Amino acid sequence: MTTENTQEQEQVQQADDKVELLPTKFHPKARQRFILKFDGVDSYLVKNIDLPEFLIVGNSIQPSKEIVLYLHCPGTPSTEIQIMNTVKKQVSGTTLDPAKICFLDPVGTIVSEYVFYNPKIVSFKISDLSYEASENLEMIVKISYDAFVVPR
């Protein structure tokens, strides 16, 4: 085997290695990349979102008018403070901006979004405390809304 062939094979192998590093649109996590935009709540705190259930009534489809957020509660009470400040705004009569769930492509560009108009926090609950629990605390926040726009 000549030195030229060996160098050529190394270049081909390096190119293959680089191609494997490129994001692919079929990566399972690429379909699960989203951010939440909701008044007063940092997007990085979102752990999970239960989207609305759709009910078929006669010839119409009606969403359940509620989404549920599961938020991380780090060691400090920042999540609790953010939710309480949003509730105070809501109780004072301030209309909250529409809540948005933005779906991202592998590069981080917003490719579609769900928009929830006139969102209101209906309830929230902080995880129970336990010395035996190994998982992190979370906060469950239920949000109602008046209208929901689905991308086409």
pTM: 0.71
- Asked if residue 110 lies in contact with residue 102, where contact means CB atoms within 8 angstroms, the answer is yes
- CB-neighbour burial class of residue 115 (10 A; exposed 0-12, middle 13-18, buried 19+): middle
Enumerate domains of the chain plus CATH numbers.
23-149 (2.30.110.20)
Query: Which residue ranges in the chain fall short of pLDDT 70?
Result: 1-5, 8-9, 11-31, 75-76, 151-152
pLDDT for position 19 = 47
pLDDT for position 129 = 78
Residues 6+ apart with CB under 8 A from 149: 114, 115, 117
